[in-house]
Amino acid sequence: MSGWIGVAEGVHARRYAALDQTLGLVVGHTRALVVDTGMHEEHGAEFAAAVRELTDLPLTVVITHAHFDHFLGTAAFVGAPVYAHPRCAPAMLERADVGKWAEHYRGQGDPETGERIARARVVPPTHEVPDRLDIDLGGRRVRLLHPGLAHTDHDLAVHVPDVGVVFAGDLVEQGAAPSVGPDAHPARWPGALDVLLALRPETVVPGHGEPVGPRFVAAQRDALSAGST
């Protein structure tokens, strides 16, 4: 099952049952911004078609980080500029978690998804965002920012200031504790969440789960600080 959630005016989140994932779309007057692209090429194609149901504007893509479910659908957005942190592209090309997740789905009796993940092409970013960058979507400015070491060493968040929305990627998860993998920096992660909270968002869209408010983010920060996630 999948479907759109209206987060704010011209800001949408698309929810997927697989991995409880959430992808994003921000629409301006002259361009639209896609936040992450999905877990394989077929997923990306479904998401791209769903985006086109909402807007026919030229698209820009931002990849929040280099875990397979956030970037392996980018081939569906051919021709669009793709923004990511400089450390994202090398991690994408390593495909470090692709084999693991392909085997996971095969082991769960879903070989089709496993094969889709294994054969998905990596589309490298075309533009780097070392720290922060503003993008003009026509009447709407969005800011891409790297809040510091956290879920990975190359996370990007997307701030839509006119409506108080932040797309957090996997810096925030709802419905499950944050995923602290081998490439995470748990001691620094709370500081990155402080950077997001300093933006004073009304709504934070996680990479997995439903949109949340700042109190939820603060509670997750405190749990990470206490080492209880």
pTM for the model = 0.97
Quick one: pLDDT at residue 227? 85
What are the tokens at 207? 């990479």
DSSP H helical ranges for 172-212: 189-198
Q: Quote the tokens at residue 183.
A: 């490439």
What is the four-CA torsion angle of 220, 68, 126, 86, rounded to 10 degrees? 50
Tell me the pLDDT tens digit for each residue of 134-144. Answer: 999 999 999 99
pLDDT in tens, 77-119: 999 999 999 999 999 999 999 999 999 999 999 999 999 999 9
Domains of the chain: which residue ranges? 2-226
Mean pLDDT of the residues in the chain: 97
- CB burial string 121-131: b at 16+ within 10 A, e below: ebbebeeebee
How high is the pLDDT of residue 2? 82
Concatenated DSSP letters of 117-162:
HHHPPP---SEE-SSEEEEE-SS-EEEEE---SSSSSS--EEEETT
Enumerate residue ranges in the chain where pLDDT < 50. none
DSSP character string of 5-37 = EEEETTEEEEEESGGGBEEEEEE-SS-EEEE--
CATH of domain 2-226: 3.60.15.10
